[in-house]
Amino acid sequence: MREELRAYFRENRKASIEELSRHFSVGPESIVEHLSPWIESGCIEKKQPDIFSSALFQACSRERGDEVYHWVC
C-alpha cells in the first residue's frame, strides 16, 4: 500500500484519513499505520485545518477538526 499512497498523494497532494480510508476501502487504523513511514521520512506532513477554512467550507466533505495530510516531497 506504500506505493499506492505515494501515487495518490502525488496526484492529489493532500487528503484526510477519511478520504484515504474510503478511497482504499480499508479502516482508518490501517491508513495511519501505512502513513507513518512517509510521515517519519518527511514526505507527508499532518496539518490541522484552520478555523476560518473550517467555518467557511463546512458544507464540504471534510469534517470540522479532521486533520489533513499533505505530500511535500
According to the model, what pLDDT value does residue 66 have? 72
According to the model, what pLDDT value does residue 65 have? 45
Distance separating alpha carbons of residues 48 and 64, to the nearest angstrom? 10
**C-beta of residue 68 within 8 angstroms of C-beta of residue 19:** no
User: Is the pLDDT at 72 greater than 90, yes or no?
Assistant: yes
Element of type H or E holding 36: helix 28-41
**pLDDT tens digits for 14-70?**
999 999 999 999 999 999 999 999 999 999 999 986 666 666 656 555 444 478 999
In the chain the domains, ranked by start, together with CATH numbers, are 2-71 (1.10.10.10)
For residue 48, how many other CB atoms are within 10 A of its CB?
10
CA 46 to chain centre: 7
Distance separating alpha carbons of residues 9 and 51, to the nearest angstrom? 24
pTM: 0.74
